[in-house]
């Protein structure tokens, strides 16, 4: 969610019970604005918080002119001092997907990486290293996984130029209340997968400038999203049951929208059995 609109946005997603303490709220917004200035980001989003056993990671994302370009990610243990995270690699994502259990809250903590193929294990042992993965790498990969799976935006909020770059749509004035209650009105803000598999006939009715992402209506398993009206029916709230703690909000007929994550960083693998 946008750093400049943080206090109001946190109130709109507070219906799920998660949030920040008054002390953290007081320091977070000015801290993010300083972060935007120091790193010269065009925009800064507060991504959320991953709660560990001994501490919590507060996550921010810095954006440049092209909103679809890889984002810079930073974490803080106190909402004041921020550290830049390395870019996520596919190797990191694959390794982190095999780790189970809670985060510790210590970036230097090392996990024993037991599920490793023979070739990688031999290479590590030849180098005199044990197969380990640091919690910082797991943090990077988990943020990437959550963004890919449940990072969402309303339809029309961004436009794709003929050159391929993605920018905020200045003409976007929000979804109507009727449209805001449909899963098809929301897109995954990541590289599309299902869209590439559609036939030319299926793409005929799509607007290439706005319909360049995958919508939520075909997410698997079916029923992995809940859509609710809150604040007297003035706010549409989507919550993910796959990554518990991810909450998206949109105020219909306005430009107010965003998502935030407050959770343990663990995927809900039991979801297919719960539906």
74-107 pLDDT, tens digit each = 999 999 999 999 999 998 898 888 888 899 999 9
Say how far residue 20 (Cα) sits from the centre of its chain.
18
**15 located within any domain:** no
> pLDDT: is 198 or 174 the higher one?
174
Per-residue pLDDT, 94:
87
**46 located within any domain:** no
71 has a pLDDT exceeding 60: yes
Backbone φ and ψ of 240, nearest 5°: -90, 135
Region 132-158 average pLDDT: 93
**264 located within any domain:** no
Q: Are 247 and 230 in contact (CB under 8 A)?
A: no
270 has a pLDDT exceeding 70: yes
**165 located within any domain:** yes
Per-residue pLDDT, 19:
80
**31 located within any domain:** no
**199 located within any domain:** yes
Tens digits of residue pLDDT in 206-232: 777 888 888 998 888 888 999 999 988
pLDDT band, residue 125 (cuts 50/70/90): low
The tokens for 146 are: 């959550």
Range of the domain at 233: 153-257
The tokens for 105 are: 């809250």
Running DSSP on this structure, what letter comes out for residue 222? T
d(CA 36, CA 58): 16
119 has a pLDDT exceeding 60: no
The residue assigned the tokens 């959320």 is 48
In the chain, which ranges are E strands? 43-51, 56-63, 72-76, 83-84, 110-112, 132-134, 152-154, 158-160, 166-168, 186-188, 225-230, 235-240, 246-250, 257-263
pLDDT band, residue 272 (cuts 50/70/90): confident
Cβ burial of 191 (10 Å; 0-12, 13-18, 19+) is exposed
**266 located within any domain:** no
For the chain, the domain total comes to 1
What SS3 state is found at 144? helix
**191 located within any domain:** yes
144 has a pLDDT exceeding 70: yes
């Amino acid at each position: 969610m946008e750093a400049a609109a943080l206090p109001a946005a946190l109130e709109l997603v507070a219906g799920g019970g998660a949030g920040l303490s008054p002390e953290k709220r007081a320091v977070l917004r000015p801290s993010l604005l300083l972060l935007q200035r120091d790193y010269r980001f065009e925009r800064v989003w507060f991504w959320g918080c991953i709660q560990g056993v001994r501490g919590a990671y507060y996550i921010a994302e810095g954006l440049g002119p092209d909103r679809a370009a890889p984002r810079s990610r930073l974490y803080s243990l106190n909402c004041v001092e921020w550290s830049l995270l390395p870019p996520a690699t596919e190797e990191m994502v694959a390794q982190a997907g095999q780790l189970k259990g809670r985060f510790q809250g210590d970036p230097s903590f090392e996990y024993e990486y037991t599920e490793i193929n023979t070739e990688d294990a031999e290479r590590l042992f030849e180098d005199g290293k044990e197969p380990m993965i640091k919690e910082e790498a797991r943090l990077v990969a988990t943020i990437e996984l959550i963004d890919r799976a449940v990072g969402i935006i309303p339809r029309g909020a961004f436009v794709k130029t003929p050159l391929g770059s993605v920018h905020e749509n200045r003409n976007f004035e929000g979804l109507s209340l009727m449209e805001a209650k449909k899963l098809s009105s929301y897109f995954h803000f990541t590289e599309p997968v299902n869209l590439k598999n559609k036939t030319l006939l299926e793409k005929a009715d799509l607007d290439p400038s706005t319909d360049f992402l995958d919508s939520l209506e075909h997410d698997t398993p079916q029923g992995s999203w809940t859509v609710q009206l809150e604040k007297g029916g003035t706010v549409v709230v989507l919550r993910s049951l796959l990554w518990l703690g991810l909450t998206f909000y949109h105020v219909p007929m306005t430009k107010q929208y965003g998502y935030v994550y407050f959770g343990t960083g663990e995927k809900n693998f039991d979801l297919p059995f719960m539906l």
